[in-house]
Chains A and B, each alone.
Chain A
Amino acid sequence: MSLLSVENLSIGYQTKKGMLKAVDHIRFDLEEGDSLGFVGESGCGKTTIGMALMGLLPENAEILEGRIRFQGRDLVLLTEPQWRQVRGAKVAMIFQSAMNALNPVFPVDEQIKEAIVTHQPDISDADLSERMKQLFDLVDIPLARMKNYPHEYSGGMKQRAVIAMALACDPALIIADEPTTALDVIVQDQILREIKMVQQKTRTGLIFISHDIAVVASVCERICVMYAGQIVETGTRKEVFKSPRHPYTQTLLGSYLSLDNLKDIKVPDMKESPDQLTDTNECRFSGACPSCDRKCAGRSPEWIEISPTHQAFCCNPGLIRRGHGKN
């Protein structure tokens, strides 16, 4: 059985204009020790998924339907006291801005100890300090810096401390939400290696959320591409990046400037994301889709299988299977 299995999950935000479906019928599985990346533009719902997995959805959000099965339990049904047993201990999160994730008035080691003691109140002092040493070794922070305050750390070290905090209770699943967005390229490179190395060493399940496809490509084995609240393509890293099938994935990859793909940069004619207030079965990308023809409008997309691990969500099976002549 997989570690995490999300079935048919829909999450809405109550807004002044009505219910906004930020996540629409999402399904995915994650095996133990596997890494899954979510890519998409801002507002596509990727952070909402992360928050739902942590039980940290804001007040105005509502899980409309679906199940989140984690280690045999349905997380959707948990009450807040039950969540407190799971959050941090079994599911942990690496937050986006390490600057804000640490409390400035406590030394870093106190904050990480707090996470451990909360979930293991009867841990002995010797065990606790042993665990702390392990954690700081794992994320490469010198032990001498353990008792420093967050402001004495550089940006990269703070992010490492946040990673250590997430690992503190040996969780089965880690959610990393844009962990390197606030860092510059050189530090980003170190942190990404760190996350990957730690994840492989501890065999933790990893959900990695980012708007930067190349960052996701460097960490995750499997990728989900999201657009306007839906997963539009899923597959292994190689499948999605070497032979993208969904027109949106192709647009995203074609407009990404990297040092290895400068030649075939295409400037998309992208419009704003569609209105997610109206509930519709129609394809959401059709308004901006480069391969969409009239026949597509009004039809509802379906999952099309390219290989057992590679699927795309589109109205045009022929188009997806042919791979648009680009392969």
Chain B
Amino acid sequence: MEKTDTKNRLLVELKQVTKAYAPKKRWFVRSSQPVLALNSIDLGIEHGEVFGLVGQSGSGKTTTGRLLAKLESPTAGEIYFDKTPISQLKGVRLKAYRSRVQMIFQDPYQSLNPHLSIAETVLEPLMVQGIGTRDTRMEKVVHTLDLVGLSPGEAFCHRYPHQLSGGQRQRVAIARAIVLEPQFIVADEPTSMLDATIAIQLFKLLQEIKETFGMTFLFITHNLAAARYMCDRIAVIHEGHIVEVNTAENIIRHPEHPYTKKLIKVQPGFKYGR
């Protein structure tokens, strides 16, 4: 990849990022080695692209997402967002960063607060960031719900998560993520809990949102077929190392790393009689 001309357009850049989880200290138990979830990874995500991060469980893909959303801090290395190192952000600037980066979690049954109505859930980010007046906020919420396919938005405002299906809940989670119109969204396995017919509709929705707002996505998944459907470029991660980065088509058609080949081989498909 020609680094010079893409470098200016990078929205997110990870430089030698390492994340180690130290084991919990316990009495009378000799502490074991820290677990290296990410081992000095380098990654660049361009403006307006959907970047896929693919790997099996425990490979460090969720950790990467959490570091970018600044839910955790790297042990070593630095993450740049719009050329600003995010470890330096404090106070007002950190709060601004949080409005520019949002996350969609895997399990819509756990990521929504059961005590908040749908309107309150989507309203909360606006309140925290102090955007708009009471009326304009509500307008924005209804508009956003319409946008994610929960229409009419008014009808959903006063419902609670338990009254919605899994697919609808995930739409609420998407509405909450986009209501601030962020620049960058981390979607961590957003459809792995859902049926295929619902999942494909959510993919379409995410693509529409990307077109409308011109957002940049990090799409984390273990499903290579989903990554190929959604992403411009894909990085394959294995045991904390990025083993291969390429365009989505090239990763699938011309995998170079043995691990990528293995991953392609085990993807379920309609191969009759293995």
Contacts and interface: CB of A to CB of B under 8 A. Distances in A.
Interface string B193-227: 00111111101100000000000000000111110
A132 interface: no
B197 to A, nearest CB: 5
Interface residues of A, number: 36
A267 B266 contact: no
A265 B230 CA distance: 12
Contacts of B224: 259
B195 A268 contact: no
Q: Which 5 A-B pairs have the closest CB atoms?
A: A214-B268, A189-B266, A257-B225, A184-B57, A258-B269
Contacts of B203: 257, 267
Interface residues of B, number: 33
A217 B263 contact: no
Nearest to A251: B197
B195 A211 contact: yes
B51 to A, nearest CB: 18
B67 interface: no
B25 interface: no
Interface of B: 56-57, 165-166, 195-201, 203-204, 222-226, 228-229, 252, 262-272, 274
B195 A217 contact: no
Nearest to B259: A186
Contacts of B266: 185-186, 188-189
Given A258-B269, A260-B270, A270-B201, A186 B263 contact: yes
Given A185-B263, A262-B225, A265-B229, A41 B197 contact: yes
A259 B195 contact: no
A33 to B, nearest CB: 16
A95 interface: no
Nearest to B227: A257
Contacts of B165: 272
Residue with the highest number of chain A CB atoms closer than 10 Å, among B195, B196, B252, B271: B196
Contacts of A186: 56, 262-263, 266
A262 B228 contact: yes
A255 interface: yes
B200 A267 contact: yes
B223 A252 contact: no
A214 B198 CA distance: 16
